[in-house]
Chains A and B, each alone.
Chain A
């Protein structure tokens, strides 16, 4: 049985419908990441699961029970907020034990459980401090500690790393991954707009767009087999190149004057959008090349270099990702080859 089930969830604010019928099943212990652009409804969906936001129609089930109209505190879930939401007048220990204190758990037991959680999250030395005396990463760990002390069945994370600097974000991402391994039975639902977080943490990714689910799948499924141009453009950095083309009778794709032959011939004939990831374009000799291009801009990132290419068949420059050690400059003409097994074709 699924741990969390969403059945035809809809949510309207006045006349504006922000969630337009979402169905999803999340298994016990699964780490599911909701991704999507700003305003796509992913945070609203999370808040509806938590009970902080009401549902206009549809139902939410946790562990088989319909919790659509159950109070947030009775849903056996915990939430980590983007802004940490620590109580500034309480110490770290009091923050972590806040829920237990409200539930009138004996003080000795609260102390013992707080120490255990603090040990797990390496917060033992900070228990007597107040939130203002902590760094961003420490505050986030306290927020996580406050959540795990109540042994929730479901963990909700609402963009928990977006306020941290890049280095700390990587560190906290690893800590959350470690936490997921330690709490193997706990289901985690994580909202982010950062696809790196989504790709690295998720068992499954749910891509939201305009209040609908575009695709659900493992990170690699979404990367290799995106359902549509939205998912294809959203997953992967730099984003996939899209070119207008036509699928011919033989299953080959005609893009401007050039012809691309995918490893598997395309069945659907007619106009199509061709998607090629930057990492699937490579510099080759003229005899092997699928097409030629002129380098408009070069971005050297160290291990890799991004080339922005002008081609006769695309108005927008194509992006190519090549090895960082390749010596190349702006204005040069280059020959490029597309990996035949990595060409995506989407119906127009």
Chain B
């Protein structure tokens, strides 16, 4: 039987060479190297002594792994404070902007009212404001209410600036959820809040995961607003803190490199945590087909 099966296979014609897969692979490799190069540079400098960095090539592999930079960073009480401050800003601002985006997005997608499209466009237009335009007025505003050199302005500004993108993303995602699901839930006795929390949100986990990751990353990595709104070292966030770690006369590349890598860990963890929700097809089977 095996012989019969073998003999029945027709002689295959040699496939024509397709250059596209190898071209795409090469381009992706080049892009990956370009993206990873700075990280590798920082990683290499973080495991070298300041002297080795000053004397040697930045891109060379170190003779010995020097972990003193990490020890110095992790034992520095200021760094602990930076982390805590960043968390105190990032977590509430991420939750607040996402929650507001969910509420606004649901309203625009499922409960339209007269003028809602215009209002939606106005909110989305907020994305195109360069922060530099509102920087001075915001500083004066928060200064007048005595909030400068506190964490409040950073959280408030990030929440406000996050609303347009959160609203846009959630509105577009909610719009893909069939109206029949909302109507079916309403006929079953659900109020609008229950439709949102029991039907729409569980189906929107992929969008929520993307949004939470983006917001967390943007707020965590922000440098501008903490620099403007905070002055004392006790109120600095991690990105401003990295700059503060430079020496008076020299730049502490190794220490800054170590803190940069440590500072990027939370965003990496957030991504790893949420990536399981980055799935498509959650609404498959809801309606016909």
Contacts and interface: CB of A to CB of B under 8 A. Distances in A.
Do the two chains bind? yes
Contacts of A88: 203, 282-286
A88 B283 CA distance: 6
Given A72-B187, A131-B285, A132-B284, A87 B180 contact: no
Given A81-B180, A85-B183, A102-B194, 14 more contacts: A52-B187, A73-B186, A73-B187, A78-B187, A84-B287, A87-B286, A88-B282, A88-B285, A88-B286, A89-B203, A98-B188, A131-B286, A139-B285, A146-B184
Q: Which 7 A-B pairs have the closest CB atoms?
A: A132-B285, A99-B188, A131-B285, A83-B287, A85-B180, A85-B184, A73-B189
Interface in A96-124: 98-99, 102-103
Interface of B: 178, 180-181, 183-190, 194, 198-199, 202-203, 281-289
23 contacts: A52-B183, A52-B187, A72-B186, A73-B186, A73-B189, A81-B180, A82-B180, A83-B180, A83-B286, A84-B286, A84-B287, A84-B288, A85-B178, A85-B184, A86-B184, A87-B185, A89-B282, A102-B190, A102-B194, A131-B285, A132-B281, A133-B285, A146-B188
Contacts of A132: 281, 284-285
A99 B186 CA distance: 9
Nearest to B284: A132
Given A85-B180, A89-B282, A102-B194, A163 B288 contact: yes
For chain A, the bracket of interface size reads 20 to 34
Contacts of A85: 178, 180-181, 183-184, 286-287
Contact of A79 (B178, B184, B199): B184
Contacts of A163: 288-289
Given A81-B180, A81-B183, A83-B178, A102 B285 contact: no
Contacts of B184: 79, 81, 85-87, 146
A134 interface: yes
A89 B185 contact: no
B186 A87 contact: no
A130 interface: yes
Nearest to A78: B187
A81 B287 CA distance: 9
Q: Which of B185, B188, B199, B202 has the most CB of A within 10 A?
A: B188
A151 B198 CA distance: 22
A86 to B, nearest CB: 6
Interface string A55-92: 00000000000000000110001110111111111000
Contact of B285 (A50, A81, A86, A150): A86
A136 interface: yes
